[in-house]
Structure 1
Amino acid sequence: MRKHNRVVILLFFYLLVWGVSLQAQETEGEEAKKKYSATTSFSAIVSSGNAKEFTFSLESTHKYAFDKSQLDLYAGTIISESDGERTSNLYNGYIKYNRNISLKSYLLGLVSYERNTLAGFSSRYSLSLGVGHYIVKTEKRELQIEGGFGGVIEYIMPKEESQISPVNGSAHSGKNEFLLSRLFVRGAMAISESATLSQEGQFLFNMKEAEDVRIYANTALTVTMVKHIALQMGLKIKFDNQPVPGYVKTDIITLSTIVISF
C-alpha cells in the first residue's frame, strides 16, 4: 500500500476518534451547531463498468448556514489499486451557494470540478445558476427540486494516458465546451427512528448535442448507530449517453460506508 494511502487511512481513523469524542460533549453552543454541520465518510467499494477493482473512497461535506443563505463545500476521492499499482483516480468537488427568496425557495450558484480517469476525463469544470424549491420539508420527509443553466469545459484524456484506443463515431475530441441545462431532484424519508432512506438524481443536458445526456443517481440507506456515527449502504449510478471513446456508458458503484457527522 502506498504511503499516501496510509495517510488517507490514518486521517480517516483520526476523524473516527474525533467523532466518537463528540458524544461526550454537552449541547453548549447550540446556536453555532445550527449554523455549521459536516459529514465525513469512508467507504469500501466494489464497482462494475469502467471500474472493476476494489477501491477506497473518502468524502467530506461542510455546510454553513447564514440568516438568508447557505454555503456548501464538498470534496471526494476514489482511489483504485491492483497488485499495489495505482490503476484509477477520481477526484471531485463543488462549491454551492443558496440564497433564500422564501421559506422553501432559493436561488443557487454551483461551481464544480471533476477528474475521472475511470470515464476518460482528465478534468471537467462546470458553472451553473438556477433556482430550487422544497416541495416537502418536515422533520421526517424532504422532497427537493432544482433547475438551472450553465456551462461546461471538459478535457478528454489523451490516448497514451488512458491506454484505451479511441472508438470511431463519437462526438468527443480532446476538449469540449458547451452550454447545459441542469435538473436535480432529491427525496429523503425517515423509515424508523434511526434509519433514513434517500434518493437523488442529477440530469445534465448538453444544449448543443441533444443526445449528450448525463445522469448521476444516488440511493442510500443510513442507519444511525450512536449520536455522531452511522452506517450507510449506497448505490451510485453514473450514465453518459455519449461516453469518451473506448469507455462504456454506465458505471455502477456499491458502497458500504461509515459516516461521521458533527
Structure 2
Amino acid sequence: MLRQQILALASLVFLPGLAAAQNAPSDGEETNRWSGTAEMSALATSGNSDTRTFGLGGEVVFDPGTWKWLARVAYVETEADDVLRVRSQSALLEASRTMSKRLDMYGRGGYLRDLFAGIERRLTTEAGLAYQVISTEPHSLQLLGGGGFIREQRLAGDGLSLATTNATGRYTWALTETSALTEEAAFVADLSTGDNWRFSNELAATAALSNRLSLKVSHKLSYLNEPVPGFRKTDTILAAALVANF
C-alpha cells in the first residue's frame, strides 16, 4: 500500500512535466508555459532506536497567459522500530486569472490527511482576489484574500463544517541568481464561532547545485486553535530536500 501511494504521488509530480516535454511546441515561449519542481527528503537513525522519515513533494505550474494553473502535492511519513507512527498527505489545485497588472482573481481546492495532527481528512475550497504588492526584483510579495468552506473529519471528536475567511501572503527574495528565500503564510478564520481559527507558515531557503538540481531547507509550522482532542495545537516539520527543476 505504501509503495502504491508513493508511486501515485510521484506520478502526479512527474507525469505533467513529461507530457509537457513530449507535446512541447518548437517555439521557446510555448515551452516556458510549463514549469515545476519535484523534491525528495529522507532521514534515518539506528542504534537504540531505529527511525526513518521520508518525504516526497512537487509542484507544476501552467501559465499560458491570462489564466494560470498551479498543482501541488506533498507526502511525509515517519517510522520507528519498523512501525508506522505518523503520515501526512496533501494536495492543492489553484487557478487564477489576471484582472490587471497587479490584481488577479483566484479559486482553489485542497485535500489534507494529517495523522500528525489527528486529521483523518480535510477538504477545502476558497475563492477571492490576489494583489501583487511588490514586484521589484529581488523581492516579490503577493497577498490573497477570500472566503471558503472546510469539511474536516477527525480521528477523535466530531467532524467539522466551517465557513471561513482566508488571508495568504507569498514572499520571495532572490538572494542571488541561484538561491532564494521563500515564505508562505496563511490564516483561516472561522466565521461560525471565531474560535476554530488556524494558521500555517512555511519558510524555505533554496540553493542551486546545478542547472536542474537544488538543495532546499524548509521549516513548516501548523497551528490549530481548537486541535483534535488528545493532540497539541502546534506541529512543525524541519526538512532538507533534493529538488529537481523542470
TM-score range, shorter chain: 0.7 to 0.9
Alignment length (residue pairs): 228
Where relative contact order (Cα < 8 A, 6+ residues apart) is larger, the structure is 1
Q: Distance in 1 between matches of 2:5 and 2:166?
A: 38
Superposed CA offset, 1:185-240 (max 9, x none): 01111122322111110111111121222111011111011111110111111111
Q: Distance in 2 between matches of 1:6 and 1:118?
A: 18
Please tell me whether residue 238 in structure 1 is matched to residue 239 in structure 2: no
Q: TM-score, normalised by structure 1?
A: 0.80
Q: Distance in 2 between matches of 1:186 and 1:93?
A: 18
Shift of 1:44: 3.1
Q: Which runs of 4+ in 1 moved over 6 A?
A: none
Q: 5+ unaligned residues in a row in structure 1: which ranges?
A: 23-27, 47-52, 159-172
Name the SS for the 2:117 alignment partner.
coil
User: CA-atom RMSD, angstroms?
Assistant: 2.4
Q: Distance in 1 between matches of 2:74 and 2:183?
A: 19
C-alpha spacing 1:45/1:249, structure 2 compared with 1 (3 Å): farther
C-alpha spacing 1:152/1:222, structure 2 compared with 1 (3 Å): same
Specify the alignment match of 1:123 in structure 2. Answer: 121
Q: Distance in 2 between matches of 1:129 and 1:206?
A: 16
* Matched letter for residue 44 of structure 1: A
* Matched letter for residue 126 of structure 2: S
Shift of 1:174: 2.1
Shift of 1:34: 2.0
Q: TM-score, normalised by structure 2?
A: 0.85
Structure 1 contact 196–223 (Cα < 8 Å) conserved? yes
Q: Distance in 2 between matches of 1:178 and 1:131?
A: 20
Shift of 1:67: 2.2
* Matched letter for residue 135 of structure 1: V
Identity of aligned residues (%): 21
Q: 5+ unaligned residues in a row in structure 2: which ranges?
A: 45-50
Name the SS for the 2:3 alignment partner.
helix
Q: Distance in 2 between matches of 1:116 and 1:201?
A: 18
Q: Distance in 1 between matches of 2:43 and 2:93?
A: 25
Superposed CA offset, 1:52-102 (max 9, x none): x64211001111112201011111111111112222211110110001101
